[in-house]
Every structure is written in C-alpha cells, then in structure tokens.
Structure 1
Amino acid sequence: MQTDMTVGKPMKILLNFMIPVFIGNVFQQFYNMVDAIIVGKFVGTKALAAVGSTGTIMFLILGFLLGLTTGFTVLTSQKFGAGKMDEMRQTVGNAAILSVVVSIIMTAVSMIGMRSLLEFMNTPEDIFQEAYSYIMIICGGIFAQVLYNILASILRALGNSKIPLYFLILSALLNIVLDLVFIVVFHMGAAGAAWATVISQGVSGLLCLLYIIKAVPELHLCRDDWKFRKKLAGNQIRLGIPMGLQFSITAIGAMMVQSALNILGAYPVAAFTAGSKIENIFAQAFVALGTAVSTYNAQNIGAGKLENVRQGFRSADVIGVIYAVITGAILILWGKYFSYLFISDNVDTVIPMVHTYLKCVGCFMIPLYIVNCYRNGFQGMGYGFLPMLSGVAELVGRGVTAVIAAKKESYFLACMASPVAWIVATTLLIFMYFFVMKDMKKKLRL
C-alpha cells in the first residue's frame, strides 16, 4: 500500500493520492457537520449557534495539533523517498514521543483557559453554558485527535492515503450513530455531540494503530527506534511549530471574525456556521491536494528530483483551478439549499444570510486553492518559516476586515474576511514560489 512518488506522471500520482485524502477529509468534516445537523434539527438554532461559536476555538487548538503532527512527519516522507528506512523509523519513534508530550500540555492549557477565552470572544449569554460544555469535552479528548492525526500522517508520508480513509469512513458512521443515541435518545444536547466526536476520533486512531502493527512492516519499530534523539527532535520541531502556528494564526483571525459575529446575535452566528460548514466540505479537495503536493514534494526532495517538484506544482494548478471554478459556481448558485440540512427554525431569516456568505467565498475559490497547495508544497520541501509568513498575511487581512465588520456591525464584511485573507496570502505565496525554487536548486547542487 506504500507508494514511491518519485517515479511516474505527476498528474496521475497526485490524483491517486489526493482522491482518498479528499474523501477522508470530507468524512472528517462529518464529525462536526453531523453534530451541527443533529443539534440544529433536534435541539434548535441556539444550540447550533453554541456549537458553531466554538468552531474557531476548535480550529485554533486542533489545527495547531494537526500542523505539529504533519510537520513531525515531513522528515519521515523525505527519508522514505531517499530509501533510508532505518532513519525513517527513527523519525517515527521521535514523532510519537513528541506527540504524547504535546497532547498532555495542550489538554491542560486548553481546559484551564477555556472559560476566559469564551468570555473574551463575546460569546452570547444565552448560548454560553452549552458552548462551554461542548468545547471542554472536545479539549478533554485531544489525545484521541492526535492519535489519529500522527498515525494517518505517518501512513501518508509513505504514500498510503487509502487506509486512513477507510478508518475515517467507519468512524464517521459511528459518529452519526452516537450523535443520534446521545442527543435524540439520551437528550444530552451539545455535550452529547462532543462525546460522539471524541469517541469516534479515538476509534479511528486505534484502527490506524492496529493496521500499522498488523500490515506495515516498514513501521515496526525496535527498541533503538524509540530512543529520543535531540537533534532529530529539533529538526521535527523546526518544521512542526511553524506549521502548527500557521493553523493557529489562521484560527486567531477566524476568532476575530467570530467575535464580530457574536455581537450580531445568535442568528448571524448560526447562518455563518451553516455557511462555513458547506464551504468546508467543498474546500476539502484543496486541503487534500495540498496534502498530496506536500508528500509528493517531500519524497522528491529526498530523492533530489527538483524538476519533478516543478512539474508537480504545474499539474496541481490544472487540477486546482478547474475544481475552483466549478465549485465556486455551485456555491454561488445552489449552495444555500444545503442550508436546510442545518436549519429547522427561523428559515426566512437565516437562509438569506447563508446565501450571502456562500456568494462571498464562492467568488474567491482560486486564491483558496493557491493558499492550500503552495503553502503545503513548501512545507513538504522542508520550508517552515516562509509558509508561516503567509499565515501572518492571512491574519492581517482577516483581522483588519473583522475589526471593521465589528465596528460597522456588518454581516457582509464578516463574510468577506476570509476572501480578503486568501487574496493577501496568495499574493505573498506567488512571490515565495520563485524564491523557494531558486533556493532549493542551490541546496541540491551542494
């Protein structure tokens, strides 16, 4: 099931790797999306707003952890591409140790500071307690999230994108069943949705672990592989921290937008929540393509094949732009009809606001593609700081727009915060591409 991505046509390699990741990402979105659908339908719009108001906080915490674990395994992919299996296994052992340490720290920090963070974000009083209960359970289950992320990232580093997909499908179906049981049968509200999410994530992580033990001899570690290596850890942290911060920086901007929305009340929050979830489902193809390009670049840089990297970016551009145009049209013309999955009351008020959000983001899907593809592509090549700078650019664009939206109490400007962020980051990433390719050419000559 492992794949050598250094030989063959880039377009075919990227598509074969991307499609399972895309399907897997969609199912991963179901964890929170199904929560929203069932909560919105069976509990009500305010409960949906409670879950939605924590979305940016979840992205801040879980996105940071996702970035870290992905960064920890960049060297795994590079060593695999270079055929250095002993060193590859050492990176896996080190990544596992680092992941455990990070999980403990993040669980403690997030749970201690959560109430203050919700208050800082102007969470409406009528949804505060339900939002707090939901996010505290999610934070208590951080280890389950990290377990899946690190193991799936290791498998993908070896070119295996299908197995993580299979386990995500199973856990997503489990999440649906648990949501219905906890919310509809036991009337646990938003807290029930959180428990369903954590349990399902834990199951997907355990399934990955069992698969590796049973079917991936390349990842069978000996005692020496579990030895903590400071120099290797330093390199993994050097790649992981910027990637984690990149997600966190983006999340901070999203939290600023959420704060602006919270001022407007529960219905704009609910509309923005529904619109964001619809957009996220379609945008998972960009995330998957970015993951494919990252792994492809990492293996080819490990093998010293820079021209393959260049061709990989070109092939990704063809895939990404075509998909962006089609997706943008769907969101603008028909996206609002997906809203009925989430909204059960006050439809005449909420649905038009969802439509406004989808029109705003639908016009700017090409910049969203570039942000996902090129940022991840650079990270796979071993660059951590430069992609993080594009995250800072996003923060500036999103943050400034959010501040203006809050002052003017404008829902439209809140919806435009992300498109502005994508445009600013895209401009910077285009200039970075030429620098990175030139710099890597010099490095590979040495």
Structure 2
Amino acid sequence: MNHLQKRTFILEGKMSKVIYTLALPIMLNNLSQTLYNLADAFWVSKIGEIEFAATAFVWPVLFLIISLGMGMNIAGTALISQHIGANESKEANKVAGQLFIFSIIISLLFAVIGFILTPYIIKLMGAQGNLFTFSREYLGIMFFDIPILFIVFVFTAIRQGQGDTTTPMVINVSSVILNVILDPIFIFTLNLGIKGAAIATILSKAVFAAYIIYLLFFRKNGIHITLKDIKLKKEIISKIIRVGLPASLGQAGSAFGFIVLNGFVVSFGDYTLAAFGIGNRINSLVLMPAMGVGSALATIIGQNMGADNIDRTREAFKQSLLMVIGFLFIGSIVLIPFSENVIKIFAENLVVISEGTYYLKLIAASMPLMGVFNCLMGVFQGSGHTIYTMYMNLGRLWGLRIPMILLFKNFTDLGSKSVWFAMVISNFIICCFGMIIYMRGKWQKKVNNEYA
C-alpha cells in the first residue's frame, strides 16, 4: 500500500485487521531486537558473569538519555499522525523536519557530555572493583551510539506516524542481523571483550543510519524532508516540546527510577543483578506482542483523532486490550514451567539460576498487567496527551515501586524478593489508575488544535 492507501485503511478498514497489519511488523522488529539482546547477553555471559552484570547495570543510564529523545519522537508521531488523519500533509512534513534536526542537536550534546562524565556516573551508582571497570568501558563506548540511535528513532516515529511500520522493521532487522554477526568477531576474534560488544552495536546501526537519511531526504513516498524543513522553526519546535516534554520527563524519570532500582538490586549482590538482567531480557521477548500492539495503537489513535473518528479510537483500544491480554496469558502458561531451563541457557552459577528462576516465574504470572499498561500508553501517546504517560511512568516507579521496596526491605525478611513483589504490585495499581484516566475521556481532545 502507498501512503494514501494506508491512511484510508487506518481510517476505514476492519479494526482487527488494521491492528494486526500495523502491529505485526512492530512485533517482528521488537522480536529481532529482543533476540539481539539475548544473543548479546549470550556472548557477553561467555566472557564472565560480572561483565554481563555490567551491561545490565549501565543500561538504565543509557535509557535515561535515550528517553529524552523518545519523548520528542512520541510527540512527533502524535502530531504527524493527527496531521495525516486530517489530510494535512504539508504540516506533517514540517513536523518531521523539525523533529529530525532537533533530535540530532540534542543527541550530539548528550553523547559528548555523557562520554566525559562516564567514570563519575558509574562511581555515583555505587559500582566497585571489576563491576566499575567493565561498566565504565562499556558505557563510555555506548555513548557514541546515541546520535545514531536517535536517527533511527526519528525515522521510526515519522514512518509509524503515517502508518508505515514495515520499512523501520526491515531496516532494524537488517541491523540486528549484522550486529549478531559482528558480536563474536569483536568480542572473541579481536579479543576486545565487553568493549567489542559495544563497538559491534555501534557499527551495525551506523551502516543503516546513512540509508535512513537517504530515505528521509531523497525518497518522496509520503512524508519527506527538505533542507527548508530542517531550518529551526520556533513555533513547531515549541509544539513538539509541549507534547514531548511530559513524555520525556516520564521516560527519564522512569529510567532514573530503574537506576535507583538497580542500586537496590545490586545491594543484594552481583549474582542477583545478573539474575535480574537475564530475567528482564527473557521477559521482554514474551512482552513483544503487547509492545507491538501498543505502538500500533498510537498510530491508529492519532490518525483517527485527526479525522475526528473518536468512536473508532475507543474500538481500537478495546480490541487491542483483548488481543494483548490473550497473547500474554498464553505466554505466561508456556513460560512458567520452563523458567529454570531458560535461565540455565544464560547462567551456570547456582545462585543466579535460583534467583533468576523465581523472578521469571513471578513476573511471567503478572504479564497480562503489562498488556494493559502498553495499551493505555498507546492511547495516551497517540492522542498526544503525554501528561498521562508521565503520570503512569513516574507513579509506577517513584510513587509505588521504590517506596514499597524500602518498606519490604526494612520491615520484612523477603530479601531480594522485595524487589520482585514490589514490581508486580506497582504494575497492578498503575494499570487501575490508567483505566480511570481513560474512562474520564479527556485524552480525546486533539493536540494539534490545543497547541495551534
């Protein structure tokens, strides 16, 4: 389908088919990224368990930086999809151009500042000994990935805003395949260890970043950017910031919360941190359908709001909710009996296996909650009412999870299980909160009108 046919399909097609059509490429994209994470975890774990723990330890720092760009891209997707739904292609092109140049500027700033501050960040997080050394090596290199990653995010946001979820999937899958090939070469053949894993990641994305720039500027299929579009325009940047800032704050606050959460986890020992990292990677694989549907839902909500199809947005949410709960219920049933065997693929230490198995079983049993969470986030992101996504992200971690961990850790003998139980309970409460916001209906007001 060309971009005009996609718009008609999203606005008028059978809803279940629209969801599946948009979500499936995103699911495949998420699957490829998750398989890469698992492959990367596999190779790094062969170096040593402390090296593996280091990659899990520093990830929230990277996500803290990435989240700021993600917030801007959430704004871009919402604004672009609503312009397209309203048949305002010129305005959509302008937003895309401003999104691109603004993301490039802030990503370069983050990369330089982050690289300089790497040793201080790692020390502030409490890492010592080998964990400090490996974390510093890995994080310092990975900061160079930020500008490249932001280009990928911008492209994905622009294409998903117009209903094209296939092209970003093809590019990302190709990048992942290259990454999987390069990992063992740089880690073992070139004997670069954990540094090799970081270098392989950067090179595999840089190859395709150049192609992305070509598609955005020289291929005129739907949204395309011209040099005139990247000249900074205060009114559009202001609109992107107004919509994107709450999402950025929510994502950044969530990322910082996970840094604090890692601090609690590492206080129970490096092996517990390793178990946490392994469990999260496996969990992300099972959550793939929910994340795919949630991302597709944002595009469906945005375009239909732009076309004033409010009833259709509610139908999209209901059908998406039923889909993801069904997917994740089946995933839980399959995963729970085989949790220990799965953990053993990535760990040999008995403590890591025991901790990881318990965590994986508990989180698997509560997976349907994450389906609800992802659908609610899709609605609020697609509508552009990112203040609600900020409430949910910050409330889940800072309002609920971290205080509960402190209570459980200091007033019970649960040990590391304090973290696991707090995660499940906080997910349940925040989903109830999100449903209340959804039923109130204030998210149905178009942000393109609100910030005009």
Q: TM-score by structure 2 length?
A: 0.92
Within 1, Cα distance between the matches of 2:290 and 2:249? 20
- C-alpha displacement at 1:184, in angstroms? 1.3
Matching residue of 1:34: 39
Matching residue of 2:428: 423
Matching residue of 2:367: 365
Matching residue of 2:249: 245
Match of 1:127 among 123, 128, 131: 131
Greater displacement, 224-233 / 81-90: 224-233
- C-alpha displacement at 1:322, in angstroms? 0.4
Cα distance, 1:223–1:101 mapped onto 2, change above 3 Å: closer
Alignment of 1:401 with 2:374, yes or no, is no
- C-alpha displacement at 1:303, in angstroms? 0.6
- C-alpha displacement at 1:215, in angstroms? 4.2
Matching residue of 1:19: 24
Match of 1:9 among 3, 7, 14: 14
Alignment of 1:3-402 (within 5 A): 3-4=6-7, 5-41=10-46, 43-213=47-217, 215-343=219-347, 345-346=348-349, 348-395=350-397, 396-402=399-405
Within 2, Cα distance between the matches of 1:397 and 1:360? 18
Within 2, Cα distance between the matches of 1:85 and 1:63? 28
Within 2, Cα distance between the matches of 1:232 and 1:438? 21
Retained in 2: the 8 A contact 1:73–1:236?
no
Within 1, Cα distance between the matches of 2:345 and 2:25? 25
- C-alpha displacement at 1:432, in angstroms? 0.4
Count of residue correspondences: 442
Retained in 1: the 8 A contact 2:89–2:223?
no
- C-alpha displacement at 1:275, in angstroms? 0.6
Retained in 2: the 8 A contact 1:66–1:149?
yes
Q: Deviations over 1:231-263 (max 9, x none)?
A: 111111112121122222222222222101211
Amino acid at match of 2:124: F
Within 1, Cα distance between the matches of 2:386 and 2:340? 37
Q: Deviations over 1:354-373 (max 9, x none)?
A: 11111221121122111111
Retained in 1: the 8 A contact 2:56–2:277?
yes
Unpaired runs of 5+ in structure 2? none
Within 2, Cα distance between the matches of 1:438 and 1:129? 46
Within 2, Cα distance between the matches of 1:266 and 1:221? 47
Retained in 2: the 8 A contact 1:256–1:403?
no
- C-alpha displacement at 1:438, in angstroms? 7.5
- Aligned sequence identity (%): 24
Within 2, Cα distance between the matches of 1:331 and 1:253? 27
Unpaired runs of 5+ in structure 1? none
Retained in 2: the 8 A contact 1:393–1:424?
no
Cα distance, 1:136–1:420 mapped onto 2, change above 3 Å: farther
- C-alpha displacement at 1:267, in angstroms? 1.1
Q: TM-score by structure 1 length?
A: 0.93
Cα distance, 1:64–1:55 mapped onto 2, change above 3 Å: same
Within 2, Cα distance between the matches of 1:196 and 1:330? 33
Matching residue of 1:440: 445
Amino acid at match of 1:6: L
Give runs of ≥4 in structure 1 deviating > 6 Å: none
Greater displacement, 261-270 / 104-113: 104-113
Retained in 2: the 8 A contact 1:124–1:262?
no
